[in-house]
Copies of this chain bind each other. A is one copy, B any other.
Amino acid sequence: MKYSQLFTKTSKTAPADEVAKNAQLLIRAGFVYKEMAGVYAYLPLGLRVLENIKQIVREEMNAINSSELIMTALQRKEVWEKTTRWSDDVVDVWFKTRLKDDTELGLGWSHEEPIVEMLKQYIHSYRDLPVSLYQFQTKMRNELRAKSGIMRGREFVMKDMYSFHATKEDLDNYYQSVIDAYNRVFERLGLGEDTVVTFASGGAFTKFSHEFQTICEAGEDVVYINHDKSVAINEEVVDEAVAELGINREDLQPVKTAEVGNIFNFGTQKTDEMDLYYSDSDGNQQSLYIGSYGIGITRLMGVIAEKMSDDKGLVWPDAVAPFRVSLIRIGESEAVVEKADTMYQRLTDQGITVIYDDRAERPGAKFADAELMGIPHRVTISERLLDGDRYEYTHRASGQTDILTAEELLDRLSQ
């Protein structure tokens, strides 16, 4: 895409009312716009990052035979009353509204109850099981405070998934395949090294649930981790888990983390509360086993922005960058324009996403924008290197610059 056609505007200064680093950077770089505290619009650059994250998650959920659908934001009171979770005393993040006839409606902060209710129409027999469904839903939560930028929104995008099984063993196996799939997601996002599967508080059915916690100074959680990251425990259950797992408390160090995913084994609790049953092969009514699995999509974007940035701005990993290459044209001579146009065409022909800075701006301003936006690779075409087959390549993360031939350049960008 040509920069002259891109809707955005970078800014040298951070907005005064924004304390979170992720939001400061994303606003300055033109990725998001703050509508109000905890509520952000995603401008074209930001939407591209979000869609890249979603696509990675989508591929990994499809790979474990989950099917994508989209539930509704407007939700029925009577569905949530079946589990007592309609009450504002039980769930303190409800936004509620009313139909013209005064019927109360809720705005989806979660979709567990609605999806269980829905499945009463689709699951009758053991032949209908197992089922795994997921969505990318805009959730709304009436948070008292929202100071963490896009890491804790009042309106945010979550991938939530629910699986339904005839037996405990089948749920246990699927639960493990979700852990593996989540690990692949965080690996592909460049967060694998710093993301740990963490013991967290469970429910009626299991002592512990599992969270995926990413080490992050701006995170709101504290997790106790041992030196090789093979054990991690949320501080809320650290005493319990240390006793249960037979670990030395002294081997664990507290670190600040952000919860990027969680998985929860409901057992048959929801089934029983909401009257969802199936008939086994003998025609007997049986309880279903349910698992629930979340990934915070907008939060992940915020965590990446927090962790992968420097004093010049954002530093996106290739997998989520809005464009992989920033092609910067310095000068307006016919020869420079032709060389830059040709390289733009070659790169896009290879399926490489390029933002081509064709503006009549100072070189310094173009470089600064590309750095602030965190485009992983920069290719500069100027009068200086016009003669011969030479291109200036700069790696955003390391700052290393090389003079490459076209072939060497394409080779490097294909990696």
A5 to B96, CA, bound (A): 36
Report the minimal beta-carbon distance from A134 to chain B, rounded to whole angstroms: 10
Q: Is A266 an interface residue when CB atoms closer than 8 A count as contact?
A: no
Q: Is A19 an interface residue when CB atoms closer than 8 A count as contact?
A: no
A114 to B97, CA, bound (A): 21
Q: Is A35 an interface residue when CB atoms closer than 8 A count as contact?
A: yes
Q: Is A95 an interface residue when CB atoms closer than 8 A count as contact?
A: yes
CB < 8 Å neighbour of A76 from B36, B43, B121: B36
Are B71 and A73 closer than 8 Å at their CB atoms?
Answer: no
Contacts A39-B74, A73-B140, A155-B74 hold; do A33 and B68 have CB atoms under 8 A apart? no
Residues of B within 8 A of A367 (CB): none
A124 to B285, CA, bound (A): 67
Are B96 and A97 closer than 8 Å at their CB atoms?
Answer: yes
Report the minimal beta-carbon distance from A105 to chain B, rounded to whole angstroms: 8
Q: Is A209 an interface residue when CB atoms closer than 8 A count as contact?
A: no
A69 to B7, CA, bound (A): 9
Q: Is A72 an interface residue when CB atoms closer than 8 A count as contact?
A: yes
CB < 8 Å neighbour of A69 from B44, B67, B72, B98: B44
A340 to B194, CA, bound (A): 46
Contacts A44-B67, A67-B7, A138-B138 hold; do A72 and B35 have CB atoms under 8 A apart? yes
Residue of B nearest to A15 (CB): B121
Q: Is A409 an interface residue when CB atoms closer than 8 A count as contact?
A: no
Chain A to chain B contacts (Cβ below 8 Å), 30 pairs: A5-B65, A5-B67, A6-B67, A7-B69, A7-B122, A9-B128, A35-B74, A35-B75, A39-B72, A40-B72, A41-B69, A41-B70, A41-B71, A41-B72, A41-B114, A42-B70, A43-B69, A44-B68, A44-B69, A46-B69, A47-B69, A50-B70, A73-B138, A73-B155, A74-B140, A74-B155, A95-B98, A96-B97, A100-B142, A100-B143
Binding site for B on A (CB under 8 A): 5-9, 33, 35-36, 39-44, 46-47, 50, 65, 67-76, 95-100, 105, 107, 114, 118, 121-122, 128, 131, 133, 138, 140, 142-144, 154-155
- Copies of this chain in its oligomeric complex: 2
Residues of B within 8 A of A47 (CB): 68-70
A100 to B100, CA, bound (A): 23
Residues of B within 8 A of A143 (CB): 100
Are A9 and B140 closer than 8 Å at their CB atoms?
Answer: no
